[in-house]
Structure 1
Amino acid sequence: MNARGALGRYGEDLATRRLRGAGMTVLERNWRCAEGEIDIIARERDALVVCEVKTRRAGPFGHPVAAVTPAKAARLRRLAARWLTERWIARYGRPPTGGVRLDVVGVLLPPRGAPLVQHVRGVA
């Protein structure tokens, strides 16, 4: 694994801990299909949560949450619909009663000190 991949994996590990700490159940990580990847799929009560994780080192590129553009959010919605059909509905026969939500977890790694983890709910 290269340095960028290791950084992303570290951020996803931190995000998974944050989501579990908030009471969510992580159903799947790094689900891939031909159109792309969903970082984390979780469940919060009756809602399905599709979570994008963005990890950055502190620097000129801004906060990681800002990296989720409208185009990226639209792609995540398409991926979520595909996961829902292939995994959830195939198993349960119906959509989750609490609906589907798109969240972003931004992980910012300062030069010193603990990482800053921000969970933004319902971004799109």
Structure 2
Amino acid sequence: MNERGALGRFGEDVAARWLVAAGMTVLERNWRCRAGEIDIVAREAAAGALVMCEVKTRRAGAYQHPMAGLTERKAARLRELAQRWLSERWLAHHAAPPAGGVRIDLVGVLLPDRGGPTVEHARGVA
């Protein structure tokens, strides 16, 4: 794994732990199909929602803040991927979509030069 891949994997690990601490259950990580990848699929029990999470990780001082990394093109792809995951994975085991609906969230992980990572979670971004 190259440095960029290792950074992304670390950020996804941080994001998954953060989501669990926030009361979500991680159902799947790094789900792939021909159209792309969903970093984290989680269930938010309080809202009854299925949550597709895009994780963006950056080092401090990087050109772009992680929360700025979601383009309209990427958002459209995430909507398509969410629909595919729902039909291929969820509906294979459940009679209906989740009662709380499906939401796409962005989790930004910023790694400072010193100290622990900072996590930002934006709900319903796409």
TM-score of Structure 1 vs Structure 2, range by shorter chain: over 0.9
What TM-score, normalized by structure 2, do the two folds share?
0.95
Q: Give matches, 1:60-79, under 5 Å.
A: 60-79=62-81
- Tell me the equivalent position of 2:26: 26
Secondary structure of the residue aligned to 2:109 is strand
What 5-or-longer segments of structure 2 have no aligned partner? none
> How high is the sequence identity, in percent, across the aligned residues?
70
Secondary structure of the residue aligned to 2:91 is helix
Partners of 1:72 and 1:25 lie apart in 2 by 24
Which amino acid counterpart does residue 6 of structure 1 have in structure 2? A
- Tell me the equivalent position of 1:117: 119
Q: CA deviation at 1:110?
A: 1.2
- Tell me the equivalent position of 1:83: 85
What 5-or-longer segments of structure 1 have no aligned partner? none
Q: CA deviation at 1:82?
A: 0.1
Q: Deviations over 1:16-57 (max 9, x none)?
A: 011000000000000000010000000002100000000011
Task: Please identify runs of 4+ aligned residues in structure 1 that moved more than 6 A.
Answer: none
Partners of 1:23 and 1:16 lie apart in 2 by 11
**Is 2:6 the counterpart of 1:6?**
yes
Secondary structure of the residue aligned to 2:116 is coil
- Tell me the equivalent position of 1:106: 108
Which amino acid counterpart does residue 7 of structure 1 have in structure 2? L
Partners of 1:111 and 1:50 lie apart in 2 by 29
Secondary structure of the residue aligned to 1:92 is coil
Q: CA deviation at 1:62?
A: 2.2
Cα RMSD (Å): 0.8
Among residues 32, 56, 59, which one is paired with 1:57 in the alignment? 59
Greater fraction helix: 1
**Count of residues paired in the alignment:** 124
